[in-house]
Amino acid sequence: MSRQSPIGIFDSGIGGLTVAHAIKQALPQESLVYFGDTAHLPYGDKSEAAIQAYSVRIANVLIERGCKVIVIACNSASSAAYELLKEYVRHLAHVIDVIDPMVRHVSSQFGGRKVGLIGTKRTIQSGIYTAKMERADPSIQLLPLATPLLVPMIEEGYFNNQISHDVISQYLGDPLFGAIDALILGCTHYPLIRDEINEFFRGRVQILDSTAVVAATLKTYLESAQLLSDAMPTYEFLVSDYTESFEASTRVFFHEPARLQRYPLW
């Protein structure tokens, strides 16, 4: 790998674009290759074995494109495939997930407090946030809740309207979240409805998403490994199946028309 090699990023759909955008803001000279596995979204209701299979195939694509780092911009894939991918590409690329940076951030800021967590069924049922938080700081009371309707709602473009307000209120009105100090958005799609979530809590709960902390973690790694690029960046977008919502989202996040390349995994 070289300093000018791109950063590889993948997710099941548009959610990981929130991470890609944060990386673009923090590291404007880095080239990016983004893979949206739109043919298999959402990952949140898939088995661990299926997510691992998708992740390995996507990693192969990103390695073929010479990526120096692979960012798993998906909580479900981070919980199911992070350790596998670290081993699989260990001599070829560095791997960063979205869970560990958030756990480190929360443990440094919210000791002894109640922190809510929303995510897909896969992420919540894996118990990975709870296990890692207990190791990092057992004084934090983590309160997890699966919110499976949010990803398909967002992928279909339903946010900032009455439908999204109703669904969000139904989930966040759970008594579990009655006295939390902060809420982890345990899915990279959820920053797209961050304002609505903040509005529900009327600003009394700190909303935490992984985008900025992941970008900061990546920057720290590139600096320490002396792999910061100093070239003009390029952006490449691959999808396992074409969707209009993905193309529209790339324009929103990158402020330029994006040519999607269809790259079926099978």
Active site residues: 74, 187
- Contact of 14 with 151, CB cutoff 8 Å: no
Angle of helix 17-26 relative to helix 211-224, nearest 10 degrees, comes to 50
Amino acid at 92: L
Which bin fits 94, alpha (ψ -120 to 50), beta or left (φ > 0)?
A: beta
- Contact of 176 with 145, CB cutoff 8 Å: yes
In this structure, the number of other CB atoms found within 10 A of the CB of residue 225 comes to 13
- Contact of 190 with 157, CB cutoff 8 Å: no
Q: What gap in Å lies between CA 71 and CA 52, rounded to an integer? A: 15
Angle at 32 between CA 27 and CA 34, to 5 degrees: 130
Residue 154 corresponds to which tokens in the numbers above? 């967002």
